[in-house]
């Protein structure tokens, strides 16, 4: 059984499934996921889209769906008794599922583990009790588990496996267009509604300062085109960005700089060697609660990996159009600084272990199956 409750986890889970099937073609998978797991041949019994949430307060509206999902998981674990439960990120739901599995003797692999280094570090106690092995994707995570005698393997980051981001740090692309700026507002509609108006307002300011600038916005497959068009019409003014529907990698190929929300897409930008400003906003209550719980200096993954701020982060009130435009203008107007940043981003990405994360995680999973 495999559980991936969010879009990025669904993609990484599908690659793990395919890597495991290369080793054992007869394996049967079922569980919670979306498009990518279904295409990998997994029997999807609960759609991940019904469970995914952003922010602490936003989770309240999803409580009925989450409770129903847990009930389904409990019934399936008890009736089908899979030989292994694989959990992908999605910690609150998945740690509950791990507890159910542990009680009935089903081994548990956690791949892409909870961000205990960022907040709610006490969850590591639940992980130790409920999870048989943790496969981590960031190099500094390994020691957090090892020091507590939790079986752990650093497998590298799955973004480097296959697809457009595979080993991007070693490819030589065409010279980036520093006059083209990409806008990456997020993969969820609530994120787009919250971030794209701010990005467009910043783009209008930049355009007045630097008329030669061009803009492109990435449309995630999980976001309706009508919503994006409506936000651009309302907030774009004279700025009419090109809409890229082929994936964020196309933005990185066309643009020498991006304004990106915090999350996976900012790491994708780093892998592509694209300098950026990272922004993020949540509801005021979510931010207030998060400030009380989060204990890391940075939220951008590339900054976390490097252990310092390589690219600027503008969070909540700091993520204003004025601040975003000022940061972006200073960076875009300095070609030497952009080149230096590209080298720093590639250096940070070089610590992620290179391609093969899915295959290494599959080896861990098969070892648990064969015990």
Q: What percent of the chain is modeled with pLDDT above 90? A: 69
Q: Is the pLDDT of residue 169 over 50?
A: no
The predicted pLDDT at position 172 comes to 43
Q: For the residues 299-319, what does the mean pLDDT come to?
A: 90
Q: Is residue 315 a contact partner of residue 142, using CB atoms and an 8 Å limit?
A: no
Question: Predicted confidence band at 291 (pLDDT cuts at 50, 70, 90)?
Answer: low
* Whether the predicted pLDDT of 244 surpasses 50: yes
Give the single-character DSSP code of 241.
P
How far apart, in Å, are the Cα atoms of 301 and each of 272, 343, 362? 14, 16, 24
Start-end of CATH 3.40.50.2000 domains in the chain: 2-162+355-369, 168-352
Query: Per-residue confidence at 337, pLDDT binned at 50, 70, 90?
Result: very high
Choosing among 3.30.70.870, 3.90.380.10, 3.30.420.40, 3.40.50.2000, the CATH entry for 168-352 is: 3.40.50.2000
pLDDT category at 173 given cuts 50, 70, 90 is very low
Q: What is the mean pLDDT of the chain?
A: 89
The number of residues making up the chain comes to 371
pTM given for the model: 0.81
Report, as an integer, the average pLDDT of 232-260: 95
Q: How far apart are the first and last CA of the chain?
A: 17
State yes or no: pLDDT of 170 exceeds 50.
no
- Name the more confident of 190 and 344: 344
Per-residue model confidence (pLDDT) at position 247: 87
Selection from 358, 356, 299 nearest residue 11 by Cα: 358
- In tens, the pLDDT along 89-131 reads 998 899 999 999 999 999 999 999 888 766 667 789 999 999 9
Distances (CA, A) of 57 to 53, 60, 197: 9, 6, 22
| Res 338 pLDDT > 70 | yes
Paired residues of 243 in beta bridges: 217
Select the more confidently predicted residue: 190 or 198: 198
Residue 166: the pLDDT is 55
pLDDT interval class at 319 (50, 70, 90): very high
What is the arithmetic mean of pLDDT over 217-242?
94
- What the block records as the tokens of 255 is 């643009």
Residue 246 has pLDDT above 60, yes or no: yes
3-state DSSP call for residue 27? coil
Angle made by CA atoms 300, 61, 66, in degrees to the nearest 5: 85
> Is the Cβ–Cβ distance between 285 and 57 less than 8 Å?
yes
Say yes or no to pLDDT of 293 above 60.
no
User: CB within 8 A of 294, min separation 6: which ones?
Assistant: 118, 119
Burial of 336 (C-beta count, 10 Å sphere; 0-12/13-18/19+): exposed
181 confidence band (pLDDT: 50, 70, 90): very high
Strands (E), the chain: 2-4, 30-33, 43-47, 85-88, 108-111, 133-136, 152-154, 180-184, 214-218, 242-244, 257-261, 276-280, 313-315
Distance CA 274, CA 10 (A): 25
Assign 363 a pLDDT band (cuts: 50, 70, 90): very high
* CB contact burial 30-49 (16+ within 10 A = b; e otherwise): ebbbbbbbeebebebbbbbb
Give which of 182, 186, 183, 184 is closest to 282, Cα–Cα. Answer: 186
* pLDDT score of 328 more than 60: yes
**In CATH terms, is domain 2-162+355-369 a member of 3.40.50.2000?**
yes
């Amino acid at each position: 059984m495999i559980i991936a409750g969010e879009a990025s986890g669904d993609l990484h889970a599908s690659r793990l499934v395919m890597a495991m099937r290369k080793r054992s073609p007869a394996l049967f998978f079922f569980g919670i996921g979306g498009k990518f797991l279904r295409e990998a041949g997994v029997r999807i019994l609960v759609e991940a889209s019904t469970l995914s949430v952003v922010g602490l307060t936003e989770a309240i509206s999803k409580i009925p769906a989450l409770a129903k999902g847990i009930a389904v998981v409990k019934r399936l674990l008890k009736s089908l008794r899979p030989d292994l439960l694989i959990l992908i990120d999605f910690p609150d739901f998945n740690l509950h599922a791990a507890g159910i599995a542990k009680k009935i003797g089903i081994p548990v692999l956690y791949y892409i583990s909870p961000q205990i280094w960022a907040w709610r570090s006490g969850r590591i106690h639940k992980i130790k009790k409920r999870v048989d092995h943790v496969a981590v994707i960031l190099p500094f995570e390994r020691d957090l588990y090892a020091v507590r005698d939790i079986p752990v393997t650093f497998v590298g980051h799955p973004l480097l496996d296959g697809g457009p981001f595979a080993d991007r740090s070693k490819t030589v692309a065409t010279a980036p267009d520093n006059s083209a700026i990409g806008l990456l507002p997020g993969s969820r509609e609530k994120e787009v509604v919250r971030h794209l108006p701010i990005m467009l307002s910043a783009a209008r300011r930049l355009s007045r300062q630097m008329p030669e600038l061009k803009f492109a916005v990435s449309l995630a497959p999980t976001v309706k085109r009508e919503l994006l068009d409506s936000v651009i019409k309302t907030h774009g003014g004279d700025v009419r960005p090109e809409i890229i529907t082929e994936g964020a990698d196309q933005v990185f190929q066309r643009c020498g700089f991006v304004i990106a929300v915090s999350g996976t897409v900012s790491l994708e930008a780093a892998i592509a060697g694209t300098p950026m400003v990272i922004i993020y906003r949540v509801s005021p209550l979510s931010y207030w609660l998060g400030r009380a719980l989060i204990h890391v200096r940075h939220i951008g993954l590339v900054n976390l990996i490097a252990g310092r701020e390589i690219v600027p982060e503008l969070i909540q009130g700091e993520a204003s159009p004025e601040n975003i435009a000022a940061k972006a203008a200073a960076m875009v107007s300095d070609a030497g600084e952009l080149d230096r940043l590209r080298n720093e981003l590639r250096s940070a990405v070089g610590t992620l272990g290179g391609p093969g994360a899915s295959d290494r995680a599959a080896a861990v999973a098969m070892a648990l199956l064969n015990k």
